[in-house]
Amino acid sequence: MKLFKIRGGVHPHDNKHLAAEQAIEDLPMPALLHIPLQQHIGAPAKPAVRRGQRVAKGDLLALSQGAISAPVHAPTSGRVMGVGSYPAHHASGLSVRTVTLMPDGEDRWSDEIQGVPDPFALSPEEISARVAAAGVVGMGGATFPSAVKLNLRTRYRLHTLVINGAECEPYLTCDDRLMREHADAVVDGIRIMAHALGVERIVIGIENNKPEAQAAMAVAASVDPRIRIARLPTRYPMGSEKHLVQALTGRETPARGLTADIGVVVHNGATAFAVHEALRLGRPLVSRVVTVSGAAISRPRNLRVPLGARVQDLLDYCGGFTEEPTELISGGPMMGQPLPSTRVPMVKGSNGVLALTAAEVARHEPMPCIRCATCVQACPCGLVPLDMAAHTRAGDLEGAVSLGLMDCIGCGSCAYVCPAHIPLVQFFNYAKGEMAARGRTKQKLTETKRLAEQRTARMEALKQAKREAMAKRKREAAAQKATPASTPASTKASGAELPATEQPAAAAEA
């Protein structure tokens, strides 16, 4: 199919050969699983189990809270050891609420797990409800609840479903292997999502460095004439949602808008596989495929990992390190985050664990900007990173925002090509975080002012009510005092109003 050009981008060494030919293997069940309740964008899940409770595989561990949330399920059968705090799969290393589960070795599915013989007989609402109940989120790393995106049909006029199989990050091969080994299941999940969205066109974008995946998906997709395979050029960041849509449709997503604004919804191939399992088999999302790679890894692998397994469990299965890594990363080297330790658990958005050597990282001391504009040429969003960085360093964050800071996708292309080795992405991430913090502070002040004004209005209303009540009582008291004083005059004016026993006396006086 015809492809359209996108601006910028880079061609880093992909190093996918380390794990690309390694078939997916099941990680042996660890002795303990630490399952965080926050594995998605939105509100954390609420615990639904207690210490000592026995659960089967797929049983509900935590309930979703609110519209943007996702439930959490047991990755295997066993006993709940407790609900407490444990280090998160995040660069901060801060602790989050976590369910600790001791597997019993049976790996027994819950008796309540039941699939649907024909998902296409379900209504779109029923499909999205089942996807939500299964805890499926975006598996490409964004972890946005998938059911929310499936419900976009109610707000937008959708016509195309795009499946992001680009996997443009170096080293990562988990989606490649999934499309190779489970193409039929991935395509089935894609068709179910297309049915829920009500679209008439499906495009699966796969980069040209994955010819086996392209071939396997083309064969599986032949069952549906709506599906087309787009063979994408190997270029980073082709996997960026907005740039992928632009390459496939030629249309640009509005700034800070959604691809749904132009009628397109994007899902990941691994998400489609999870939807297939949720609908056909009734299985919630309790495991995922993860690439363990890097020159410091003894045996790079693609592993199917139960959620809650520690990073150390994966490293041990892959033979540990050949040498002490310079950097340990969750995800890819371009947009991934450093891991604080190997104790942290794997979560729904964990698609890679990389152990990189000093030669792979190639750190350099930053130098002053020479204004060569190489970063400008590389930026896929058409921004001017060197000027945004200058404003950020000067503390003028509003100036950086005016230059398009909030449109930056954090892909790292600018930093990759910078000859001065300036950590541009770190500058922009700091600026975004600081602006978000300022926004929260401003919102808090606005909310505090609003509550104070409401309280003042309530107190004034109470005072006014008291004043009116007091005035009413004064009027009533005055009326009561005036009534006895007027009674004698009225009786003198009319003898008929005197009691019967007093009438003769009154007549005698007359």
The single-letter DSSP state of residue 92 is T
The reply, when asked if residue 318 is annotated as ligand binding, is no
Which amino acid makes up residue 449?
K
The backbone torsions φ and ψ at residue 86, rounded to the nearest 5 degrees and listed phi first, read -155, 145
Tokens in use for 295?
């020159």
Which ranges of 223-370 does DSSP label H, i.e. alpha helix?
A: 241-249, 269-276, 311-317, 358-361
Tokens in use for 91?
């660069």
The reply, when asked if residue 375 is annotated as ligand binding, is yes
The reply, when asked if residue 408 is annotated as ligand binding, is yes
| 35-to-284, 341, 346 alpha-carbon distances in Å | 14, 16, 8
Do 390 and 369 touch, CB atoms closer than 8 A? yes
Q: How many angstroms separate the CA atoms of 41 and 481, rounded?
A: 71
At a CB cut-off of 8 Å and minimum separation 6, what does 27 contact?
A: 303, 304, 305, 306, 309, 313, 314, 317
Do 51 and 80 touch, CB atoms closer than 8 A? yes
Tokens in use for 440?
């929260």
Tokens in use for 83?
């609900």
Q: How many angstroms separate the CA atoms of 384 and 403, rounded?
A: 7
The reply, when asked if residue 174 is annotated as ligand binding, is no
Q: How many angstroms separate the CA atoms of 394 and 398, rounded?
A: 11
Tokens in use for 11?
């061609």
The residue among 244, 264, 136, 152 whose CA lies nearest residue 200 is 264
Do 308 and 343 touch, CB atoms closer than 8 A? no
The reply, when asked if residue 414 is annotated as ligand binding, is yes
The reply, when asked if residue 381 is annotated as ligand binding, is no
Q: How many angstroms separate the CA atoms of 145 and 475, rounded?
A: 64
The single-letter DSSP state of residue 502 is G
The residue among 363, 501, 380, 494 whose CA lies nearest residue 426 is 363
How many CB atoms sit inside 10 A of residue 298's CB?
14
Residue written as tokens 């990189």?
356
The reply, when asked if residue 369 is annotated as ligand binding, is yes
Q: Is the dihedral of CA 73, 75, 80, 82 positive or negative?
A: negative
The residue among 367, 366, 424, 414 whose CA lies nearest residue 391 is 424
Do 356 and 326 touch, CB atoms closer than 8 A? yes
**Known binding positions:** 369, 372, 375, 379, 408, 411, 414, 418
**Known binding positions for [4Fe-4S] cluster:** 369, 372, 375, 379, 408, 411, 414, 418
